[in-house]
A and B are shown apart, each in its own frame.
Chain A
Amino acid sequence: MAGAFWCVVEDDRKGMPKKVMAEVLGEAARLGGPVEALWLTDKASEDGLKQLGGWGATKVWLLENAGLAPYRGEVWVPPVAELAAKESPKAILAPVTSRQREFMARLAAKLGVGLAADSVALARDGDKLVATRPVYAGKLLSKVTWAKAPYLATLRPNVFKPADAQAGKSAAVERPSLTIPPPQMKLVERREEVSTGLPELTEAEIVLSGGRGMKGPENYVILEELGGIIGAAVGASRAAVDAGWRPHRFQIGQTGRTISPKLYMGFGVSGAIQHLAGMRTSKVIVAVNKDAEAPIFKIADYGIVGDLFEVVPELTKEFKRLLEK
């Protein structure tokens, strides 16, 4: 529908949209809609389509084709640009993930429009849209606006209020016939990461972060144990990553992942500006550090000045006790 808010679906590669889509669809509705999902996949599931409807999509544009997986910009962009030219959406929104960041940038170039990447707020200004983005290592906020529609933006996960899932609501599924170009890039293999059994860092509602104060790679088990109990992801500072204690994908900060969980707890992390750049939009920040002067206490909501090797086991014990109740 002309003037619609399209939400590009990020899925689990097994036919289900990720839960971050509730946030994107919820925001599109809050901005006034009409809310439509755009799903490019090799295989969508009935449950997945239902889920999008439950989260408020009135229509799903479904592009289902074996060539669409894995994601390749050169394959995804042409059909979406073709559809956008026909349907004239007002905005195209996507969650921040590694592939959506690239896809939305390429799409913006193809459509000749602006892109507001990694937005933390969106607001309507008449017919226009204004996006708020953290810049300069999160020290400043920049408000940006577009010269013309469609307004393209990627949304930082865990920041926008998710739509409540409504049972029984469903979306009309439309399968437009579009040309899917052959890929130039060939997939050789996909190397899966060893699963930690804990949530993904950028998606987790609770993140435990271990810094140089962890003293060595062998000690992260205490954070993983606590993480297992409260459903938290375990991340690290660059000092810990550069020491080889944790793989790079666990690094939080300016040269690592940007996270915005409901709860961030730093253990033996000093709070360098580059670390803060990746976590300062967390809702609640807890710091545990031996040094009362550590800069992280300046942005922490709660702090304990103490030895993490005493605090972490106590936390684990306390949460275990509460769970058993």
Chain B
Amino acid sequence: MKILVAIKQVPDTATAVKVGSDSKQIDTTGITWIVSPYDEFAVEEALRIKEKRGQGEVVAVTVGPDRAKEALRSTLAMGCDRAIHVNDAALTGADTLTTARALAAVVKQEAPQLVLTGRQAIDDDMGAVGAQLAEVLGWPCASWIMEETVDADAKTVRVGRQVEGGLEIFELPLPAVLSAQKGLNEPRYPTLKGIMGAKKKEIKDLKAADLGLGALTPELSITTLEALPARPPGRIIQGETKDAVKELVRALREDAKAI
């Protein structure tokens, strides 16, 4: 069974981000880049499916600039067999729909039986690419999955989709798109052997033209990016616990009117 995992490289949350000089993008100097954490759940799940079946191929794909190759290398180190890098200036800062269309073109070339992605990328938190990819392909899709089992013939997949108040268990015909929620699995760390091996694995570069993508006009664009306005300074309530709590409750009711 062939599985495609769509991943994105994002800034590590722990690093500070600053608005760039164009006020539309971040200033990328000094940023540490990582594979978006939800995408790691997707990679892990794909590898587990392959391992459980004893055969198959896991292909990682990303749409991103040169630096995104590092993220693909990380997934190869985890165990993906090969990778595809859609790297084209025309796709820099693409909106989710454009990204989904580019990925759909890759899916058509690769013809996998299953596509996995993270529930959302933790940079712009749009959480739309997986579902949009399914729509462009006309495939069924289940988002925020917490559990997954592919049947023996690789004809269907049973998933648990997280919804408010519970878990909905669905059976989907394959091919399908699934997006991973935290709780699906615990991603592995690459071994030293994995890291060494990753250097020899293939990363195929593709341009928009290789995918037959026509004019790429974004449907959603950023007009400005700005720092979060600072919250007004807070107040530490001093005193014995009992008095402090009384004062806190009074302040919450009378000053903040929060309760």
Complex Cα spacing A104 to B132, Å: 9
The answer, yes or no, to whether A64 is at the interface (CB within 8 Å) is no
Q: Which residues of A contact B166 (CB under 8 A)?
A: 190-193
Contact of A188 among B16, B135, B158, B259 (CB under 8 A): B158
- Among A38-46, A48-56, A160-168, A250-258, the stretch that binds chain B is A250-258
Given A191-B167, A200-B165, A304-B236, residue A108 in contact with residue B132 (CB < 8 A) = yes
- Among B49-57, B204-212, B241-249, the stretch that binds chain A is B241-249
Interface residues of A in 83-125 (CB under 8 A from B): 97-99, 101-106, 108-110, 112-118
Q: Are B17 and A187 in contact (CB under 8 A)?
A: no
Can you name the residue of chain A whose Cβ is closest to the Cβ of B245?
A314
Complex Cα spacing A277 to B123, Å: 11
Complex Cα spacing A206 to B256, Å: 13
Q: Are B249 and A318 in contact (CB under 8 A)?
A: yes
Looking at chain A, what size class is its interface with the partner chain?
35 or more
- Among B70-78, B80-88, B93-101, B189-197, the stretch that binds chain A is B93-101
The answer, yes or no, to whether B29 is at the interface (CB within 8 Å) is no
Interface of A is mostly: mixed
Contact of B226 among A103, A117, A141, A263 (CB under 8 A): A141
Interface residues of A in 231-275 (CB under 8 A from B): 248-249, 251, 254-256, 262-263, 273-274
Q: Which residues of B contact A110 (CB under 8 A)?
A: 135
The answer, yes or no, to whether B182 is at the interface (CB within 8 Å) is yes
Q: Are B17 and A77 in contact (CB under 8 A)?
A: no
The answer, yes or no, to whether B213 is at the interface (CB within 8 Å) is no
Contact of A144 among B100, B158, B220 (CB under 8 A): B220
Complex Cα spacing A274 to B132, Å: 26
Q: Which residues of B contact A118 (CB under 8 A)?
A: 125-127
Q: Are A286 and B126 in contact (CB under 8 A)?
A: no
Looking at chain B, what size class is its interface with the partner chain?
35 or more
Contact of A98 among B123, B164, B228, B244 (CB under 8 A): B164
Given A106-B141, A115-B128, A185-B170, residue A136 in contact with residue B11 (CB < 8 A) = yes
Complex Cα spacing A240 to B206, Å: 43
**CB proximity of B103 to chain A, nearest CB, Å:** 11
The answer, yes or no, to whether A315 is at the interface (CB within 8 Å) is yes
Given A101-B127, A106-B135, A114-B219, residue A142 in contact with residue B237 (CB < 8 A) = no
The answer, yes or no, to whether A169 is at the interface (CB within 8 Å) is no
Q: Are B248 and A304 in contact (CB under 8 A)?
A: yes
Contact of B252 among A139, A286, A307 (CB under 8 A): A286
Complex Cα spacing A45 to B222, Å: 40
Can you offer 29 A-B residue contacts whose CB atoms are under 8 A?
A98-B144, A108-B96, A113-B97, A114-B220, A117-B125, A117-B128, A118-B126, A135-B123, A139-B16, A140-B19, A142-B124, A145-B220, A147-B219, A184-B173, A185-B142, A200-B164, A254-B13, A256-B182, A273-B14, A286-B248, A292-B236, A301-B232, A301-B234, A302-B251, A303-B236, A306-B244, A314-B241, A314-B245, A315-B249
A interface, CB within 8 angstroms of B: 70-74, 77, 97-99, 101-106, 108-110, 112-118, 130, 133-148, 184-193, 200, 202, 206, 230, 248-249, 251, 254-256, 262-263, 273-274, 277, 280, 283-286, 292, 297-307, 310-311, 314-315, 318-319, 322
B interface, CB within 8 angstroms of A: 11, 13-14, 16-17, 19, 26, 37-38, 95-97, 100, 122-132, 134-136, 140-144, 146, 158, 160-173, 181-183, 217-228, 231-232, 234-237, 241-242, 244-246, 248-249, 251-253, 256, 258-259
- Known pairs A101-B131, A144-B223, A273-B14. 10 more at Cβ < 8 A? A74-B140, A118-B126, A141-B226, A185-B142, A248-B181, A254-B37, A255-B182, A301-B256, A302-B237, A311-B241
